[in-house]
Amino acid sequence: MSYICSEETEELIQAVREFCDNEVREQSKEYDRTGEWPKEIYDKAMEMQLHMMEIPEEYGGLGLDKVSVAVILEEMAKADAGFALTFSVSSIGLKSVLMAGTEAQKKKYCDTIISGQFSAFALTEPQAGSDAAAVKTTARKEGDTYVLNGRKTFITNGGVAGIYVIMAMTDKTKGLKGMSAFIVEAGTPGLSTGKHEDKMGIRGSNTCDVVFDDCRIPAENLLGKEGDGFKIAMQTLDISRTFIGGMAVGIAQRAMEEAIAYAKGRVQFGEPIIKNPVIGFKLADMEIQIETARQMVAHACTRMDLGLPYGKESAIAKCCGGDAAMKVTSEAIQIFGGYGYSREYPVEKLMRDAKIYQIFEGTNEIQRVVIANHLIKEY
């Protein structure tokens, strides 16, 4: 691991590592098998304040810098990527509030998360995936309320959140300038969860549809102004994609460590296979990909911490991380040979967990669109 952190952060990382080793790593295998949401693990993690990492100190959180958050998420993802994702995505909804909310909204919803609730960020719809502007969910103003109708899909924490940040059209005639962002509290009549996804990986995280059926919310739950929704969504994703890259690095790092341990113990042709240069080269390539991705994550985080633009760097970090995770986990399975393909060994889970990191929060193809758009403006 080669992030450069303060002594205080190192201590926190060590505590998180111990927690993950004792409470997550082994336990997550069963949740991977059943697809059950491991509430007891999340409850214990909250005792360690892992849900408060990104909440500024002025609102009662830990107020960690972005580099520290990335290191801790990497550590969490090494134990279980679904576990890390649950907390990371919970911060996404809150990021929109912290970015565009009023003082009252920031205070209220930071308190909600600190009290032990999760948040969900709901942009995606059945027909609005990569084309985020194609959102069909509507928000109709009626007096001092908005009435929401529509369906969001693939929503992380969708079935377990205490608050939802949702994007809906307040004026369809204006295209993406008619999209607005709202906060919806769990338990609001007309809000329900739909289909739960039976996923290939990250099975310890909750993913489901969120349905709005004449769901009436106070007008004060609008984030920013009417029409700000698309920008709020894009700016939120600009931040969160970096951390997706960081978690993907965690998956890749774990896969490499598992492969090294296996290659040291596996004897073929009279000696441990790690002595075979073919294996050494594979491991070296893994390390190159992991370290490159990690440094891109750190670079994007440092830019955020310094208040510099980071949209392009965040997209690069997400691409590098997701691609590294997929390549490294695949090569780890190759080193394990037939055993790698068996559920008895950890690496097949890592590959299943890794795949989504090339897909969600904007596919790696969309990240390239984002990067290209930045290049066009830069040069």
Return all residues near 246 (Cβ < 8 A) that are at least 6 apart. 69, 70, 71, 73, 74, 77, 294, 297, 301, 317, 321
- Using CB under 6 A as the binding rule, whether residue 215 contacts ligand CAA is answered as no
Identity of the residue, 175 or 218, whose beta carbon is nearer to ligand CAA in the bound complex: 175
Query: How far is the C-alpha of 179 from the C-alpha of 287, rounded, in Å?
Result: 43
Q: Write out the H or E segment, with its range, that includes residue 79.
A: helix 66-79
CB 202, min distance to ligand CAA, A? 11
Among 3, 31, 37, 121, binds ligand CAA (CB under 6 A): 121
Q: What is the DSSP string of 244-285?
A: HHHHHHHHHHHHHHHHHHHHHH-EETTEEGGGSHHHHHHHHH
| 333: three-class secondary structure by DSSP | helix
Query: What's the CA dihedral at 256, 258, 264, 270 to 10 degrees?
Result: -100
Task: Answer left, alpha or beta for residue 369, where phi above 0 means left and psi between -120 and 50 means alpha.
Answer: alpha
Strands 191-196, 271-272: pairing is unpaired
- Using CB under 6 A as the binding rule, whether residue 235 contacts ligand CAA is answered as yes
Site for ligand CAA in 305-364 (CB under 6 A): 311, 361-362
Identity of the residue, 114 or 359, whose beta carbon is nearer to ligand CAA in the bound complex: 359
| Whole-Å CA distances, 350 to 78, 259, 284, 336 | 9, 12, 19, 13
Residue type, 142: E
Stretch that binds ligand CAA, among 131-139, 216-224, 242-250, 271-279 (CB under 6 A): 131-139
CB 230, min distance to ligand CAA, A? 5
Q: Which residue is nearest to ligand CAA, using beta carbons? A: 362
Among 99, 133, 186, 371, binds ligand CAA (CB under 6 A): 133
| Whole-Å CA distances, 37 to 43, 202, 204 | 12, 11, 5
* Tokens coding 237: 């994703």
Task: Check if the beta carbon of residue 322 is closer than 8 Å to that of residue 244.
Answer: yes
Identity of the residue, 3 or 230, whose beta carbon is nearer to ligand CAA in the bound complex: 230
Q: Please say if 47 is a catalytic residue.
A: no
- Using CB under 6 A as the binding rule, whether residue 81 contacts ligand CAA is answered as no
Identity of the residue, 93 or 250, whose beta carbon is nearer to ligand CAA in the bound complex: 93
- Using CB under 6 A as the binding rule, whether residue 124 contacts ligand CAA is answered as yes
| 158: three-class secondary structure by DSSP | coil
Residue type, 84: A
Counting beta carbons within 10 angstroms of the beta carbon of residue 157, is it exposed (0 to 12), middle (13 to 18) or buried (19 or more)? buried
- Using CB under 6 A as the binding rule, whether residue 72 contacts ligand CAA is answered as no
Q: Tell me, by CB under 6 A, how many residues bind ligand CAA.
A: 27
Identity of the residue, 241 or 282, whose beta carbon is nearer to ligand CAA in the bound complex: 241
Identity of the residue, 12 or 155, whose beta carbon is nearer to ligand CAA in the bound complex: 155
User: What mask, x for binding ligand CAA by CB under 6 A, covers residues 247 to 286?
Assistant: ----------------------------------------
CB 292, min distance to ligand CAA, A? 23
Stretch that binds ligand CAA, among 178-186, 194-202, 264-272, 369-377 (CB under 6 A): 369-377
Among 22, 102, 127, 130, binds ligand CAA (CB under 6 A): 130
- Using CB under 6 A as the binding rule, whether residue 160 contacts ligand CAA is answered as no
**Which residues contact ligand CAA (rule: CB under 6 A)?**
89, 92, 121-124, 130-133, 154-156, 176, 230-231, 234-235, 237-238, 311, 361-362, 366, 369-370, 373
Active site residues: 361
